[in-house]
């Protein structure tokens, strides 16, 4: 598994993580869109 795949995202997006209590979510952030794109959720 390529754990650094996000570094070479073809769309040039960034990832960010939100963590609160037992919930963790990972999102793609694309400056051209107003809403982040969810990638992963655990909680």
- Parent domain of 20: 5-42
Please count the structural domains in the chain. Answer: 1
Torsion of CA 34, 37, 13, 8, to 10 degrees: -170
Q: For residue range 1-43, list pLDDT tens digits in order.
A: 677 877 778 888 889 999 999 999 999 998 888 899 999 999 9
C-alpha span between 3 and 35 (Å, rounded) = 24
Predicted pLDDT at 16: 93
Indicate the pTM of the whole model.
0.73
Q: What is the pLDDT of residue 11?
A: 84
CA-CA distances (angstroms) from residue 31 to 8, 37, 38, 39?
Answer: 16, 11, 15, 16
């Amino acid at each position: 598994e390529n754990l650094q795949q996000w570094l070479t995202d073809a769309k040039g997006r960034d990832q960010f993580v939100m963590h609160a209590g037992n919930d963790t979510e990972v999102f793609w952030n694309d400056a051209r869109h107003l809403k982040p794109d969810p990638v992963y959720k655990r909680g």
